Structure 1
Amino acid sequence: MSTRQHVTLATNWTGDAGSTAPTYELVVTNVSDAPISGFTLCMTAPTRVERNAGFEGAKLVSRRSNFVEVAPPESFTLQPGDRWSFSTTDVSRSLNHWSDGATTAWLQFEKGGTLPIDVIPTTMTGDNAPLRRGTEPLPVPGPGKATAPISVVPWPNQVSVSGAREVLQGLAPKGESGAEGAIESFREITLALFPTESICRSEAEGGIPISLEVDQSLPAEGYRIDFSSNPITVSASGHAGWLYGLITLGQILRGARRHKLTYTFPAAGEIVDQPAHGWRGSHFDVSRQFFTSDEVKRFVDVLAWNKLNRLHWHLSDDEGWRVEIDAYPELTQIGAWRGYGMKIPPLLGSGAAPTGGYYTKSAIRDIVAKAGRLGIEIVPEIDVPGHCFAVLMSLPHLADPDETGEYYFHENFPNACLNPAHEPVYEFIETTFSELLELFPSKTFHVGADEVPEGAWEGSPMARAMNEKIGGSGPAELQAAFLKRVQQFLTSKGRITGAWEEAAMGGGIDKANSYLVGWKSIEINKELAQDGYDIVIAPGQHYYLDMANGVGFSEPGASWAGWSGPEETYMFQPGEGWNEEQRAHLMGVQACIWTEHMMDRTLFDRLVFPRLSAIAETGWTAHANKSWQRFSGMAALMPNLYGHWADPVV
């Protein structure tokens, strides 16, 4: 093939125009000087075409979830400068945002070989607004306009400070035996997030002395800062409190440095602080998009700077298995990779070549240790029995060999659920979980349990027999029986079982040794708490950070739960209207980062920040002490992960 071949793909969405159905239009253009023939077009996009989609000007060759392959008309040749246009109305959801459209594409030649295509971001008829990427920096108030004298996120629960010191060069913390770990952790965070600012430095290099002192009357994550003492003191009962106190001082220092006419470093007074909720977390999906160990560690630093203390690490899903398991090397040999002609096709921004990755046990130990130093507990999630396409492609013996027919969830992957009636499944679960329990010391282990579709296992003779034996009427009872057995195993190992809200279906799991994450609606959390489940609140309508920041097509992100901008996310109050009995089951809050739409890191920064900090403040700060006006003036001082900002920070 000519090295001068160059092809582009442009896509456009035409919404409901009344007389015509919403249409997805695609145009392939040969911008090179050589004709191209004998090919199919392969592409991936968050929005799926239907399994049997019809096309005008093309023919569907194959479709697997978000991967689609189409062919041009027979004997078609794309001449230099010519375009091949085709369209379909058969899509699973409307394209509400520009990131819904095609993200990667290539030509697959009949005689072998591929040609990558330049994909132009999807447009919408009648909308020409600039496409949004990077974190939107909320404006910092001008001199004399701030509602608080210091910049801290999340806001402390008691602030009584006055005066202003000259802007400091840095902090030189020292402490009694036992405080060294917190000091080193603070140094680790600041070096990772702000490597050139030297926030933590010695007195010889201009650091102001900070004394770390013991006060056993303070709660584990609480602290007190006395600005009037000389040196300034941070009192706490242990590691977490000292670390959070130092982070507060580091944030105050950065605010006073970067906006010295707006924020100050106090000369007197004190801060007394402790969190409102014990569970302040973020879920992180690394299956749909793979993130390297270094990226995960950097994200852990960001969580700590926000005083978040849980990382719910979503390590498996249909699109990829991400953790090394000695007993089943196939999981990472097959399940960790996607590519054309492979067991798992290209999906969600991956191309024809093998793409993916996994975490070795050594890498996981390193990440878990780092998180522990920063006060963060990592809760692993292996999603079962649903969302197991990658598992079943790697270990086909886990499927019922006599199962017939196909079932889908949202027409995603066929028959992607582990069979509750198949005994090898439990051997797999117990063997795999045993290896993971050695890696993750967290007292909780999340088993997923979401989105098992209606019709699951109906074609499995052994599942039908099991359902009849237990008196079940469908997949909910089969899943409940499966989860109870898995929970019994985890309980025997001293672990609490975490799951998504669907684990309450079909009779549910043991409430005494579990917690659920409510996600489909705000109301479900209250209902589950009333039913006696411990609850972590994460409604898609406000806490799913893959949802777009706004309704405009120019915003990237998903839309099934609507949209929630930073202010809407911040203003949502978990547990509002709950009675005391229900509140007793409210463990805390959690952001959820699903990465289908985060095909490049500019979109990650756009979608996650500053909404992650908004959720962090809700988790830490008492409701009566929250203020959107105050928070919005400080949010731009908080770090994002990759340094992509929509506009320069003022």
Structure 2
Amino acid sequence: MKIKTLFLLLPLIWINPTMAQKSINIIPQPNSIEQRSGMVILDRNVAIIAEDSLKNEAYILSELLGKGLGQKPSIKSKGKGFKLEVDRALSEVLGDEGYILKIEKNEISIKARTVNGVFYGIQSFRQILPEDFEFRTYTKDILLPELKITDKARFPWRAFMLDESRHFKGKAVVKDLLDQMALLKMNKFHWHLTDDQGWRIEIKKYPKLTLIGSKRDDTQTARKSEERTGKSHEGFYTQEDIKEIIEYANKLHITIVPEIEMPGHAMAAIAAYPWLGTLGTTTEVSEIFGIMDDSFLISDPKVIRFLEDVLDEVMALFPGEVIHIGGDEVNFDTWKNSKEIHSFMKEKELKSPVDLQIYFTNGISNYIDRAGKRMMGWNDIMGEDIHEKAIEESHKVEEKLALSAIVHFWKGDLELINRAVKEGYDVVNSNHWDTYLDYTYERLPLSKSYAFDPIPQGLEKKYHSKILGLGTQMWSEWIPTVEKMENQIYPRLAAYSESGWTSTDQKGFEKFEKKLQSLKKRWSLTGINFNDK
């Protein structure tokens, strides 16, 4: 591997380590950068040296380097070159996703305890290259700074959620989002696939879910508005489509977490099979947004069997450990007025609709547990009155959520997170005031996104490990186009990536804003419509 050290001798262009480190514009910020004053030339004939377990990563690196060098480097198992290596002895230093990246006069190398770590080292190396490296062939030498980066993730759960129930986007858009997630070291794609306004996943046992449930006749244009677009909206993913996207995500070390809403936000499914509903009157997919009246009739064993059948197909499709069941915003008034629900609650000695929801949720959680996976749901599933209307003042909730459940916090007093972790639950923090990407930049400015810390202020250190990380959510009720969606996501996604990856002592908003200019150049070349106000 022909890599030469170039020492910058002239005072006019001399770079000291402090000044040089500012020019390393990696997002999320690595936890340690040791930079020397030398520069190295990236050899156009460099080979990639990698063991068999790193074939995917070696291929990704070869594709990357081939764009700017004009030729793809060969991949070898031995010899000199750009070395990718897994070293299990590095666990204490790097954890499961950390890496060591070295650019030295004799060698470039990425070493990690796991394949994941090697992949993230490649993502950091990408951002050291010129911003336009992947968009044109370089005819001049490419200079790289001599350095050593030692890096690891702060949290194991760094998620981005896309709601496609409200507005379907399609495979190409999802793959583009996965590409940007990978660059920013985000590792969970939370895929909101079902809701009142559309069912977006093929379930072979119940074909009407997509035949009927994936289509709506019209769409509300604004909150509480009677105006409509005057256009129908439809779309869904076949199971083959989903397998293709899962394979794509796996290569980028992103786990997909599917969300199948229950027991509320279910009108698209009920429109397809009306016997699923509590009201018995729902026959159309909702064209308006908000908290709907109908929900699954969970007192009926046939409805429970339906949900288990759906989960069977979902769990067979998605290899990840976690299945999200939503569980938010159930309209309890509908249950209160149902004779079937009242009879079931009396039989099971359930005192309130809240107890009924927890009872139902635990049944689903147990079913998912038996399949070797874990259930996740919005923090409504704990039974707290986060909407300030669900629970009668005179009644104390008696049912208790299964401890295997992951609590996805989105609403309510932050003290609810403290309570959850102290009771033994794992928590993902997605406080809506801080993480909802459908909010305007006036309501959720970039600085506030960047300042978000998944660990609530004042939480005892012994409970910090119970905070798995964060999620940021792209709800799409009022975001119909890809262009508008990208404007809401970028650049805030970069801020959340740093909140999820970088240790707090390495963060700084002013430094982040400077680094962001480099990332914006990449987005411009990619064609992403980011917000630049």
Q: CA deviation at 1:646?
A: 5.0
8 Å CA contact 1:310, 1:377 repeated in 2 = yes
Structure 1 residue aligned with 2:513, among 632, 643, 650? 632
Equivalences for 1:168-567 in 2 at 5 Å?
173-186=48-61, 190=64, 197=68, 201-202=72-73, 209-218=81-90, 219-228=95-104, 230-255=106-131, 266-339=144-217, 345-348=218-221, 351-400=229-278, 412=290, 414-505=292-383, 506=397, 507-511=399-403, 513-521=404-412, 523=414, 524-550=416-442, 563-567=443-447
Q: CA deviation at 1:296?
A: 0.9
Matches of 2:114 and 2:276, distance apart in 1: 47
| Paired residue secondary structure (2:355) | helix
Change (3 A) 1:411 1:330: closer
Which residue does the alignment assign to 2:9?
none
Change (3 A) 1:411 1:622: closer
Change (3 A) 1:527 1:146: farther
Q: CA deviation at 1:362?
A: 0.5
8 Å CA contact 2:86, 2:115 repeated in 1 = no
- State the TM-score, normalizing by the size of structure 2: 0.81
Q: CA deviation at 1:374?
A: 1.0
Matches of 1:164 and 1:603, distance apart in 2: 43
- The amino acid that maps onto 1:520 is K
Matches of 2:70 and 2:30, distance apart in 1: 20
| Paired residue secondary structure (2:494) | helix
- The amino acid that maps onto 2:427 is I
Q: How many residues align?
A: 471
Q: CA deviation at 1:403?
A: 8.6
Structure 2 residue aligned with 1:598, among 479, 495, 507? 479
Larger Rg: 1
8 Å CA contact 2:202, 2:209 repeated in 1 = yes
| Paired residue secondary structure (1:163) | strand
- The amino acid that maps onto 2:315 is L
Q: CA deviation at 1:198?
A: 6.0
Q: CA deviation at 1:213?
A: 2.2
8 Å CA contact 1:284, 1:592 repeated in 2 = yes
Q: CA deviation at 1:468?
A: 2.6
214-223 or 476-485: bigger deviation: 214-223
Matches of 1:637 and 1:416, distance apart in 2: 48
Change (3 A) 1:483 1:607: same
- The amino acid that maps onto 1:234 is I
Structure 1 residue aligned with 2:452, among 572, 578, 582? 572
Root-mean-square deviation (Å): 3.0
Which residue does the alignment assign to 1:18?
none
Structure 1 residue ranges without an equivalent (≥5): 1-143, 259-263, 340-344, 551-562
Per-residue CA distance 1:115-147 (angstroms, 9 max, x = gap): xxxxxxxxxxxxxxxxxxxxxxxxxxxxx9887
Which residue does the alignment assign to 1:156?
30
8 Å CA contact 2:40, 2:144 repeated in 1 = no
Which structure has more helix as a fraction of its residues? 2
Matches of 2:345 and 2:159, distance apart in 1: 37
Change (3 A) 1:256 1:481: same
Q: CA deviation at 1:356?
A: 1.5
Matches of 1:256 and 1:400, distance apart in 2: 56
8 Å CA contact 2:278, 2:296 repeated in 1 = no
- State the TM-score, normalizing by the size of structure 1: 0.67
Per-residue CA distance 1:64-116 (angstroms, 9 max, x = gap): xxxxxxxxxxxxxxxxxxxxxxxxxxxxxxxxxxxxxxxxxxxxxxxxxxxxx
Q: CA deviation at 1:209?
A: 4.4
Q: CA deviation at 1:354?
A: 3.5
- The amino acid that maps onto 1:569 is S
| Paired residue secondary structure (1:578) | coil
Structure 2 residue ranges without an equivalent (≥5): 1-17, 135-141, 223-227, 384-396
Change (3 A) 1:386 1:647: closer
Q: CA deviation at 1:152?
A: 0.5
- The amino acid that maps onto 1:177 is D
Matches of 2:274 and 2:251, distance apart in 1: 40
Change (3 A) 1:160 1:401: closer
Identity of aligned residues (%): 27
Which residue does the alignment assign to 1:589?
470
Matches of 1:502 and 1:199, distance apart in 2: 53
